Structure 1
Amino acid sequence: MAAAESPLARLSPRQRTAVTRAQIETVSARAVGLFGLVFAAQTAPIALAQNPALYVGAGTVLMAGLYGGIASLAIASITKIAMHRVSLLFAIAYAASVLAWPALVADPAALSGEVPWIYYLCTVATTAACIALPLWGAVAYTVLVPIAYGVVRQGPPGGDAGVVIATLDATYSIILGLVVLIIITMLRQASGSVDSAQEAALRRYDIAVRQHANEVERVRIDALVHDSVLTTMLTAAAAEDGQERARAARMARDAVARLAEAGAPGVPSAVERVELTVLVRRLRSALSTFATPFQIRQVHASGVHLPVEAVEAIYSAAVQGMVNSIQHGDGDEERPIRRSLRVRGVGRDGVVVEIEDDGVGFERSLVPSGRLGIRMSIEERMASAGGSARVASWPGEGTRVLICWPAELDETETAS
């Protein structure tokens, strides 16, 4: 007979397909990188043709800076590393190039009637600003940078286009930039609402999972007590001869063994499992309550499912590790301490959590035995859940907490 589906299975977030804010940011950055490369390829011949009109070396430096920035945008969008930072640097570099253009032109007559090649990258720059800056900053950039170009366009270094043409060029860039900004803003707001709804659903799911796990454990223990302990006590009370008392003694030993087995440390029950992303969201929520920032990173979190008991133990141990870093990592140091939290899924049912800081560190052998933050709250807590935890620290070199589930992963991490 097929097992009945758990009510919690219908609540599982595994099949989440909604578009999130992070995905919108990634898609936007990749669009800028892709179209930036296209615009760069189209403008390269124009830039080379106008290069003799600029001072020696100025055109080469300008092309290297802007085209290198576009290439960096493409790489950052693909690797998802520092997308906002690279976008901001390119937007700043482009604005500086527009303002510096008149000073870079050595022969304005050579550009008479020509459109400066940097104009064709204006939309790339305004879109990068939309990604990197808050709404008010993006609006200001989208308006002010094209206006600055329009001013440059009127003079001889800008091709001596006159007020009408310069105004039309600037207006076109402003309108196009604002359209892109409106689209990105609307997508961000929509995806932000989706993220909020998902967060609320995951919190409800998390609570339901824990309540269900507690209920499952209560029923299991009740059944064990009823089937073993109470039966043994009734048998012992009714025993009238040596044979019956011997049987009651055997039943008592068996009941004690079953109780010890139920309470012994080991691998948590896999009756109910949750996705690793639930743990990541809980850790992000905990980090939001700290005044001290942590850099958080997740790797291969999708598709990894862990027992509820393991998730609870990992979460508690990780939070304790972060609290220890906040309380003891700074010491008397006046420099800013870098702290990071990394959650990495391993296979389909394993996880490694790393908490690191470059603070003052400590000597483990000098920690008083009465201090339970490491031994009880981290190491023994994970051991009781079938996992492992190791705390490594060196005076003046920071601290690293490595949490693994299941415990076998610790050997792999040590070997690597």
Structure 2
Amino acid sequence: MPAAEWRVARLATRRRTAVTRAQVETISGRALGLFGLVFGAQTVPLALEQSAALIEGAGAALMAVLYGSLVAVAVASIAKLAVRGAAFAFAALYVLALLAWPFLVADPAALVGQTPWLYYICTVATTAAVVALPAPVATGYTLIVPTIYGVIRLLPAGGAVDPLLAVLNSMYAIILGVVVLIIVVMLRQAAESVDTAQEAALQRYDLAARQHATENERVKVDALVHDSVLTTLLSAAAAESPEEQDLAARMARDAVKRLDEAGAAGPRALDRVGLPVLVRRLRAALTTFSAPFTVRVVNAGGVELPVEAVEALYSATVQAMVNSMQHADEPGRSTRRELRIRGVRTGGAVIEVADNGVGFARDEVPEERLGLRVSIEERMANAGGAAEIASRPGHGTLVTVSWPSDAEGVGA
């Protein structure tokens, strides 16, 4: 195996075995969903028992809200859809349930010496905060929520326990929450470092792969020119009889056909890149723009695209966003912009750049304006993808780019 191809194969193997930020988020979400169900199931008998001490219907309502949100987290983690939203909802509902607990207890004497069942899912709530919120906010949640529980434990509604026991309960919950927080944050930081190194390596590999493919193509064309074109020219120059001229003509047609086939094949980068890499590159590009975009990403995990497709999608998307910033704004009116990225099965992607700006009539765009025709439509077509531009004056613009050209969502 040539040295260049060996390096390519080695890099591809390393990329497949690396742990990415997307994988860390998937694992964290699924662990939250699984252990949330387990911890929640363990508290059901105690929750049913303590419901008798609450205002009529309050126990059933609390159980429905918290257990229902735990099930929602588990379903979202399995489907890999809106995991952070479901985790945030549970974390918020848990705080509300904790604050409402003293007001929902109708018979405090029945709870003296008992531990409110909410305590046993406190770690689930702090883990949900870690999954859903930035690290500083999650840290505050991890410290404050168990402290609130400790205060409740001092009240008759919380069991009226000794202050030392209340402090110990709070500290135990805080320690568990902090351990989970540290583990998840460290995994995220490590994965981000891997992602950054992977992206830089892929960019270097893309350049090397293209150079390697171009060199192979040059050698191939040189051989073709020598074996077919030069032979045809020499035969044509020496042809005198009609039979020789007819033979030279057939050789010329064959040489042209072979040149066309070689040109159509063209060099291709062989490696595939995860869609989250493209998402990070687009987010990085957004940091350099003067106008904000709302970013929505769906089903990016597990989707891999050829390097050539990633480059085309990135360039076309950036051009569409630049066009929106340059032409969509209307004096005296704010413009909303969105970047929507969606994975299609395991090998396709659809990206939409939308705004509610002034819009335009496509047939009125001058031919010398190349931003739409060349930078978006032709770039995607050359890479085997597709682009669709929908706009009307006063109704905003929607640019949809996809790879491959038959990916779901284009034209929908």
* 1:175-234, Cα deviation, whole Å (9 max, x unpaired): 222222233233333333333333333222222212212222322333344444555555
1:29 and 1:346 map into 2 onto residues whose CA distance is 20
CA contact (8 A) 1:276 1:301 kept: no
Partner of 1:88: 88
Aligned-partner SS, 1:340: strand
2-structure distance, mates of 1:252, 1:302: 46
Mapping for residues 161-310 of structure 1, pairs under 5 Å: 161-231=161-231, 239=238, 246=245, 250=249, 253-254=252-253, 257-258=256-257, 261=260, 266=264, 268-269=265-266, 273-277=270-274, 281-282=277-278, 284-290=280-286, 291=289, 292-293=292-293, 294-298=295-299, 302=303, 306=306
Q: Distance in 1 between matches of 2:409 and 2:175?
A: 54
Q: Are the equivalent residues in 1 in contact too, given 2:402–2:410 (CA < 8 A)?
A: no
After superposition, residues 249-398 of structure 1 pair within 5 angstroms as 250=249, 253-254=252-253, 257-258=256-257, 261=260, 266=264, 268-269=265-266, 273-277=270-274, 281-282=277-278, 284-290=280-286, 291=289, 292-293=292-293, 294-298=295-299, 302=303, 306=306, 312-331=311-330, 333-344=333-344, 351-360=348-357, 361-395=359-393, 396=395, 398=397
- Deviating more after overlay: 221-230 vs 150-159: 221-230
Q: Which amino acid aligns with 1:381?
A: R
Unaligned runs of 5+ in 1: none
Of 361-370 and 324-333, more deviation after overlay is shown by: 324-333
Greater Cα offset, 174-183 or 247-256: 247-256
Task: State the Cα deviation string for residues 344-401 of structure 1 (Å, max 9, x = none).
Answer: 3577xxx453324143343322322222222222333344455543333344154142
Question: How high is the sequence identity, in percent, across the aligned residues?
Answer: 47
Q: CA contact under 8 A between 1:321 and 1:355: conserved in structure 2? A: no
- Distance change in 2, residues 1:95/1:315 (3 Å): closer
Q: Report the CA distance shift for 1:269/1:165 in structure 2 as closer, same or farther (over 3 A).
A: same
- Runs of 4 or more consecutive aligned structure 1 residues displaced over 6 Å after TM superposition: 2-5, 242-245, 412-416
Question: 1:106 maps to which residue?
Answer: 106
Contact 1:39 1:120 in 2 (8 A): yes
The alpha-carbon deviation at position 40 of structure 1 amounts to 2.0
**Residue aligning to 1:115:** 115
Q: Tell me whether 1:143 sits opposite 2:140 in the alignment.
A: no
- In 2: Cα distance, 1:54 partner to 1:217 partner: 78
- Please say if residues 80 and 299 of structure 2, whose CA atoms lie closer than 8 Å, have aligned partners that are also in contact: no
Q: Which amino acid aligns with 1:295?
A: R
d(CA) in 2 for partners of 1:13, 1:260:
32
User: What runs of 5+ residues in structure 2 fail to find an aligned partner?
Assistant: none
CA distance in 1, matches of 2:98, 2:409: 51
The verdict on how the C-alpha distance between 1:314 and 1:146 changes in structure 2, with shifts beyond 3 A counting, is closer
1:31-75 superposed Cα distances (whole Å, 9 cap, x missing partner): 222222222222223223222333344333333332222222212
Q: Is the 8 A contact 2:299 2:344 kept in 1?
A: yes
Q: From the superposition, tell whether residues 255 and 280 of structure 1 become closer, same or farther in structure 2 (CA, over 3 Å).
A: farther
Q: What is the deviation of 1:242?
A: 6.6
Quickly say closer, same or farther: Cα 1:394–1:274, change in 2 above 3 A. farther
Matched-pair contact (CA < 8 Å) for 2:229–2:252: no
CA distance in 1, matches of 2:325, 2:342: 16
| Counterparts in 2 of 1:301 and 1:261: CA distance versus 1, 3 Å | farther
* Distance in 1 between residues matched to 2:49 and 2:239, nearest whole Å: 111
Retained in 1: the 8 A contact 2:328–2:396? no
Residue 161 of structure 1 and its aligned partner are, at CA, apart by 0.8
The alignment's C-alpha RMSD in Å is 3.7
Given that 1:280 and 1:298 are in contact with CA atoms closer than 8 Å, whether structure 2 keeps it comes out as: no
Secondary structure at 2:151 match in 1: helix
Q: CA deviation at 1:153?
A: 0.8
Distance 1:280 1:168 in 2: 43
- Secondary structure at the aligned position of 1:273 is classed as coil
CA change 1:339–1:218 in 2 (3 A) is: same
Equivalent AA in structure 1 for residue 44 of structure 2: A
Please give the alpha-carbon distance, in whole angstroms, between the structure 2 residues aligned to 1:216 and 1:81. 43
Q: In the alignment, is the contact (CA less than 8 A) between 1:155 and 1:162 conserved in 2?
A: no
**Rounded Cα–Cα distance in structure 2 between residues aligned with 1:298 and 1:356:** 17
User: What's the TM-score once normalised by structure 1's chain length?
Assistant: 0.80
User: Are the structure 2 counterparts of residues 367 and 115 from structure 1 closer, same or farther at C-alpha, using a change threshold of 3 Å?
Assistant: same
